[in-house]
Amino acid sequence: MDKYELRILAFTGVILVIFLVSVLRAVNKYAIDLPECIPYDESFTEPQIKQIDDNLYQVFVKSQMWSFEPSEMYFPVGAEVDFYLSSSDVVHGFHIAQKGLNMMAVPGGINKATAKFDEPGVYEIVCHEYCGSGHQHMRAEIIVNYPNQQ
Ligand code: CUA
């Protein structure tokens, strides 16, 4: 092998290691929850919101041209929400900017990520993968508020 090829390979290897270390440091420093790919199961594709205990929720979000189901979700302040994301047609995105949460909805796959909502407010979900002529209308909302006191 030519010595220049070896140098380029070594240089590429060093760059790859730097990128990998940077990503791992960022994940650690900002406590980023990396999305998980979980085994496909039809039951995750039925849109629903389940309350598991006082503060823990599971949401099965179905993406399709050009909407998310459920499109409105209400949680109390302090809720921790596991999002299970599926797509019934093409690749979509799922982005909650205020939470730094970013997933892809891939047909035939289920992706999962968790977010904790410690502040009241309206959290917008947008599709950030171009998915056709209605892409810019594809959005949903999470409304987080203090629970009613009885
Ligand atoms: Cu769905 Cu863009």
**Is there an atom of ligand 1 within 6 Å of 95 CB?**
no
Strand partners, 30: none
Q: What is the pTM of this model?
A: 0.78
Lookup result for tokens 């909805």:
105
Strand partners, 79: 117
**Is there an atom of ligand 1 within 6 Å of 138 CB?**
yes
| Digit-coded pLDDT (tens) for 10-63 | 999 999 999 999 988 887 887 666 777 888 888 889 999 999 998 999 999 999
Which residue in 74, 51, 49, 67 sits closest to 59, CA to CA? 49
Is a pLDDT exceeding 90 seen at residue 89? yes
Measuring from atom 1 of ligand 1, which residue has the nearest CA? 92
Q: Quick one: which atom of ligand 1 is closest to the CA of 66?
A: 1
Which residues fall within 8 angstroms of residue 43, CB to CB, at 6 or more apart?
none
